[in-house]
Amino acid sequence: MTETPLSIPIDRSSPVPLYFQVAQELERRITSGELAVGTRLENELVLAERLGLSRPTLRRSIEYLVDRGLLVRKRGVGTQVVMPRVRRPLELSSLYDDLSRAGEHPRTEVLRLAVEAPPDAVATLLEVDPGTEVYVLERLRYARDEPLALMHNYLPVGLVGLDEEKLARQGLYQLLRAAGVTLKIASQSIGARNATAAEARALDEPRGAPLLTMERTVYDDVGRVVEVGSHVYRASRYSFELTLTD
Amino acid sequence: MTETPLSIPIDRSSPVPLYFQVAQELERRITSGELAVGTRLENELVLAERLGLSRPTLRRSIEYLVDRGLLVRKRGVGTQVVMPRVRRPLELSSLYDDLSRAGEHPRTEVLRLAVEAPPDAVATLLEVDPGTEVYVLERLRYARDEPLALMHNYLPVGLVGLDEEKLARQGLYQLLRAAGVTLKIASQSIGARNATAAEARALDEPRGAPLLTMERTVYDDVGRVVEVGSHVYRASRYSFELTLTD
DNA sequence: TAGGTACTTATGTCTAGACAAACTGTTGAC
DNA sequence: GTCAACAGTTTGTCTAGACATAAGTACCTA
């Protein structure tokens, strides 16, 4: 419960906003342990004056960290550092990105890449008229040379140009982002069922092995449907980790 | 891509902050369709003046809705309504709350309620010394008189007083909140496996039926571990719905 | 016609202050 | 001694402006 006089260098000629400079530096000190859990920050008036900022600007820095769960505020009491928990709300990342980051050497086998009319249920999710042609994609994802997931994707044509070579080298979401699409929001449903014979064969699992299923619809920043996915994962080798806030 | 002059009544005597009054009313109009998707809002200066607010206050309203994905802003361009997607980031709600809301008539059977030392792995998650006594709770959850989930929970003693009668009537999280605990962040892991014989019996499923598994650790606003849960759900009757942002 | 320059428009950042409301601890009355 | 009223501290909300910066548009020139 100590209280440290805080000194943060601020570069007013930088294009990085002042509130963000402060927020970043505070975040670094908290996650590095330099600012221990339980530490009380000085009050906003004093802090703003010491850093040479207005209170609203300083408040904005603190607000950013409160939103991210690194600080707690109580009116009449003060602002305090709390445990820096894992706190990545399972971003809109694809399996490929996750595996790369974890050093799992992902590999993708493109089983099918076509432009054709999807099943009506998929057309509905994609918000296109039944019969409209879209990308239909079937891929098998490996990690460390072990099959991990069997993935079906549907994308409207016109957002991004796909070919097998690119898909083998990069994740789908990387390609979308590179094409200037801003992934914004996704709704997904996670369930489980036993593998069909074909799935068991593809994933190198015994018949009836438990699989995790994931259905996902992704929207961009203006509300367009960008992708619909329907995937199955080997439950013996995969689980979804996620962090909820609030 | 129309642009409507916006008029919102503001009650300055209300204890509800002005920015929130505006945000709520805007949200209502967007989700109700009154403000159609694609509608451009007037610029902030004009809007602030029309509503009799300062620009920072109005901006705060808009910011709130941008964060929630109902509006998009582009510098130099303006602010626009986007698709009001489902928008429920799978809050920190318990199964009981979810079922109640959905009108599924949840019922809870308390199979075990004890205070004892948990397995060491659980003690680690709870951040207590091995051998420390905690609440150990085993419950069977029904929806519409069908068994749905078998739930194991571990809680530090001292946060809340538990008894069978209360647990049968309310969800665990309701009890925690009522005891003044602020649930803040949870990390969970979702997987799948086949049911053991005992689980199959309790859940009225055939042997080897696929089950969804969920392990969850919940922290409060000052970083204390509040609850550790380890649950299994009938995959035939349950799936996790969640929304990811950003 | 193609290209860039300048202008307009709208959001992004920042300042300096004011008053309100919640929490804490202390003082005073009974 | 106990409890309630009060004062001090700190965050919450709000105002009225200023200047910066990005995006789009219109125009002018090569």
Preferred mutation among A55, A185, A230, A237 to probe B, highest tally of B CBs within 10 A: A185
Of the pLDDT bands very low, low, confident and very high (cuts 50, 70, 90), residue B137 is very high
pLDDT number for residue B89: 47
pLDDT number for residue B136: 95
pLDDT: which is higher, B146 or B99: B146
Nearest to A210 among B188, B193, B241 (CB): B193
How far apart are alpha carbons B136 and B144 in whole angstroms? 26
- Report if CB B75 to strand D is under 7 Å: yes
Instruction: Say what the alpha-carbon torsion angle B180, B184, B185, B190 is, to the nearest 10 degrees.
Output: 50
Inter-chain Cβ pairs, chain A and chain B, closer than 8 A: 139
Start-to-end CA distance of chain A, whole Å, equals 24
- Report if CB A80 to strand C is under 7 Å: no
Yes or no, beta carbons of B243 and A186 under 8 Å apart: yes
pLDDT number for residue B147: 93
pLDDT: which is higher, B179 or A32: A32
In this prediction, residues B48-76 reach a mean pLDDT of 91
DSSP, collapsed to helix, strand or coil, labels residue B113 as strand
> CB atoms < 10 A from the CB of B31, how many?
12
Yes or no, beta carbons of A191 and B239 under 8 Å apart: yes
Query: Could you tell me which of A94, A229, A227, A216 has the C-alpha nearest to residue A156?
Result: A227
> CB atoms < 10 A from the CB of B76, how many?
4
Closest approach of B56 to chain A, Cα-based (Å): 10
So where are chain B's domains?
A: 18-81, 95-234
pLDDT number for residue A117: 95
- Report if CB B18 to strand D is under 7 Å: yes
DSSP, collapsed to helix, strand or coil, labels residue B111 as strand
Q: Give A3 CA → C23 C1' in Å.
A: 19
Q: Which of A118-127, A160-169, B197-206 has the lowest mean pLDDT?
A: A160-169
Q: Helix B18-31 vs helix B55-67: angle between axes, to the nearest 10 degrees?
A: 40
pLDDT: which is higher, A221 or B205: B205
Of the pLDDT bands very low, low, confident and very high (cuts 50, 70, 90), residue B209 is very high
Whether A61 contacts A26, CB under 8 Å: yes
Nearest nt by C1' to B76 Cα: C10
pLDDT at B206 over 90: yes
Per cent of chain A over pLDDT 90 is 47
DSSP, collapsed to helix, strand or coil, labels residue B68 as coil
pLDDT number for residue B244: 76
The owner of tokens 């009544």 is B9
Maximum Cα–Cα distance for chain A, whole Å? 69
How far apart are alpha carbons B180 and B39 in whole angstroms? 42
pLDDT at B106 over 80: yes
How far apart are alpha carbons B73 and B146 in whole angstroms? 47
pLDDT at B221 over 80: no
pLDDT: which is higher, A214 or B31: A214
- Chain A residues 24 to 63 whose Cβ lies within 7 Å of strand C are 52-57, 60
How far apart are alpha carbons B223 and B184 in whole angstroms? 8
How far apart are alpha carbons B127 and B210 in whole angstroms? 31
How far apart are alpha carbons B116 and B39 in whole angstroms? 59
Which residues from B are below 8 Å from A241, CB to CB?
A: 187-189
For the four alpha carbons of B112, B115, B116 and B120, in that order, the dihedral sign comes to positive
pLDDT number for residue B88: 47
pLDDT at B87 over 50: no
Q: Give B13 CA → C18 C1' in Å.
A: 18
Which residues from A are below 8 Å from B37, CB to CB?
A: 223
How far apart are alpha carbons A179 and A174 in whole angstroms? 9
DSSP, collapsed to helix, strand or coil, labels residue A36 as coil
Task: Enumerate the nucleotides of strand C whose atoms come under 7 Å of any protein CB.
Answer: 9-18, 21-24
Per cent of chain B over pLDDT 90 is 46
pLDDT at B38 over 60: yes
Q: Could you name the CATH architecture of B18-81?
A: Orthogonal Bundle (1.10)
How far apart are alpha carbons A16 and A4 in whole angstroms? 26
Yes or no, beta carbons of B185 and A244 under 8 Å apart: yes
Give the residue numbers in A contacting B (CB under 8 Å), as ranges.
37, 56, 69, 72, 80, 82-83, 85-87, 89-92, 184-194, 208, 210-213, 219, 221-223, 235, 238-246
Domain A18-81 and domain A95-234, same fold? Reply is no
Residue B19 belongs to what H/E stretch? helix B18-31
Q: Secondary structure of B186-240 in the HEC alphabet?
A: EEEEEEEEECCHHHHHHHCCCCCCEEEEEEEEEEECCCCEEEEEEEEEECCCCCE
pLDDT at B2 over 70: no
pLDDT number for residue A44: 93
A49-101 pLDDT, tens per residue?
Answer: 999 999 999 999 999 999 888 898 988 889 999 866 544 445 556 666 666 76
A163-209 pLDDT, tens per residue?
Answer: 888 888 888 888 887 787 878 788 888 999 999 999 999 999 999 99
Q: What is the CATH number of domain A95-234?
A: 3.40.1410.10
Q: Give A103 CA → C24 C1' in Å.
A: 51
Give strand ranges (E) for chain B: 40-41, 71-74, 78-81, 106-116, 134-143, 146-156, 183-194, 210-220, 225-234, 240-245
Start-to-end CA distance of chain B, whole Å, equals 24
